Amino acid sequence: MSISIKNKSQIENMRVAGKVLAEALSYITMLVKPGINCLMIDKKFGEFINEKKCKVSFKGYGGFPNNICISINEQLIHGIPTNRILKDGDIVSLDTGCTYNGWHADSALTIICGNSNSKYDKLVKVTQKSLYLAIKQIKPGVRLGTISNTVQEYVEGNGYYLPTDYAGHGIGSEMHEDPIISNVGLKDTGMRLAAGMVICIEPMVQVGTAKTRVLKDDWTVISQDKSMTAHFEHTILVTEDGYEVLTKRQEESEEDF
């Protein structure tokens, strides 16, 4: 396994990509309201990224046809935006990526469309909190299994399930690099983090099962029992004494991490 350690110039490019992506994700999150067309959200994201002199990461990646992934309800990840109109109470996951000078940032979140009193509020909050708890573990010398176990203990402790077919990853000049960062694992096992590494932690959580299947479009991953899902992700730099969240959104406080 060859792990990429970034230099100052590369890190600065990723900071720019991360900042722009955070702003773009906050912007399209505000568009998620009952009656909005998913293709409009996809279009607005692409326009925002281009205006900031960055490039969309996802379009064309492995043949993916759109700017972002929009996964709804039982769709866990990799949902292709269509003419689907969002409804009140839909659970909407937005997965996004962009590059600046060839260096990537990747981030995702889940929100509930319209309905602020959904019975799935806990699902969304637990998934997000598991990400924040895992990020707090990051510093040089920490093993990947500790990060994975932090997600696993919190999510499973709240009665939810973690698919093991998909995972977080390293990131840099390529969107997906080593190491793989599972959402399940044992503390104090696996590779140690080092300053200059940039990683993506992304809990993917399901209500009724850990099993998934891929739809006929060869992209959209759904829960096998069609139970509800949630997904959060941040791009994080390992620093000399801890971490820096490169895709931190303005609405997130320092206390969250």
Residue 135 within any structural domain of the chain: yes
- In single-letter form, the type of residue at position 56 comes to V
Residue 29 within any structural domain of the chain: yes
Residue 257 within any structural domain of the chain: no
Average pLDDT over residues 184-207: 98
pLDDT over 90, % of the chain: 95
Residue 240 within any structural domain of the chain: yes
User: Is pLDDT of 115 > 80?
Assistant: no
User: Is pLDDT of 1 > 70?
Assistant: no
Radius of gyration of the chain (CA): 17
User: Is pLDDT of 36 > 70?
Assistant: yes
Enclosing domain of residue 43: 8-248
User: What are 186's two structure tokens?
Assistant: 């044992």
Q: pTM value?
A: 0.97
Residue 70 within any structural domain of the chain: yes
> d(Cα 256, Cα 45) in Å, to the nearest integer?
25
Residue 122 within any structural domain of the chain: yes
Nearest to 57 by CA among 143, 161, 175, 142: 175
Residue 2 within any structural domain of the chain: no
Q: What is the mean pLDDT of the chain?
A: 96
SS3 29: helix
> d(Cα 33, Cα 13) in Å, to the nearest integer?
33
> d(Cα 235, Cα 243) in Å, to the nearest integer?
10
User: What are 17's two structure tokens?
Assistant: 């990509």
What's the structural domain count of the chain? 1
The 3-state DSSP composition of the chain as helix, strand, coil percent (nearest 5) reads 30, 25, 45
Nearest to 17 by CA among 43, 48, 52: 52
**CATH number, position 140:** 3.90.230.10
What's the pLDDT at 181?
Answer: 98
Average pLDDT over residues 238-246: 98
Buried b (16+ CB within 10 A) or exposed e, 163-181: beebbbbbbbeebbbebbb
Residue 256 within any structural domain of the chain: no
What's the pLDDT at 253?
Answer: 82
Task: List, in order, residues 6 or more apart from 220 with CB less than 8 Å away.
Answer: 71, 75, 78, 79, 80, 214
What's the pLDDT at 2?
Answer: 66
What's the pLDDT at 256?
Answer: 80
User: Is pLDDT of 168 > 70?
Assistant: yes
User: Is pLDDT of 50 > 70?
Assistant: yes
